[in-house]
Amino acid sequence: MSESDTRTELQYRNEITRQMKALNVYRKEFSHTIALLARMLFDYQAAMEKFEESGGNFVVKHTNKAGAVNAIKNPYYQAIEGLRIGILTYARELGLTPSGLKKINEAALKPAKQSPLAEALKSLGS
């Protein structure tokens, strides 16, 4: 990853907001969730850089307290895997995946359910 590919958390937040506005799913009330997703993307970027700097190996050698050397999954890659899951989850919730967008659009198209009291009051006014 080159320096020009490095983004700030604010840049991620602005990009997420821009994408949501383009899809007509942006709401100011989502700002906290947008901030969390932006932070995850920023952390993912940092973890990817560290992973690449460490040699990009999925498995690394680790020496335990007893001095035994074992092959373990690279801790940077473990962080990357966890962040990917979180990023996908938050992106879906914000309507930034096909399934998330479909879910939001279907919910928007359903007529609002009225309470029995509201329906009774409405029938009295007719």
Residue 71, beta-bridge partner list: 61
Mean pLDDT of 94-120: 81
Give the model's confidence band at 109: pLDDT under 50 very low, under 70 low, under 90 confident, else very high.
low
In this prediction, residue 13 carries a pLDDT of 98
Q: Are 70 and 62 in contact (CB under 8 A)?
A: yes
Q: Are 33 and 94 in contact (CB under 8 A)?
A: yes
Say which residues have a Cβ less than 8 Å from residue 10's Cβ, sequence separation at least 6.
38
Average pLDDT, the chain: 90
- Dump pLDDT digits (tens) for 24-74: 999 999 999 999 999 999 999 999 999 999 999 999 999 999 999 999 999
Please provide residue 68's backbone torsions phi and psi, each rounded to the nearest 5 degrees: -80, 140
Quote the pTM value: 0.77
Give the model's confidence band at 119: pLDDT under 50 very low, under 70 low, under 90 confident, else very high.
confident
Q: Where are the domains of the chain?
A: 3-125
d(CA 20, CA 79): 26
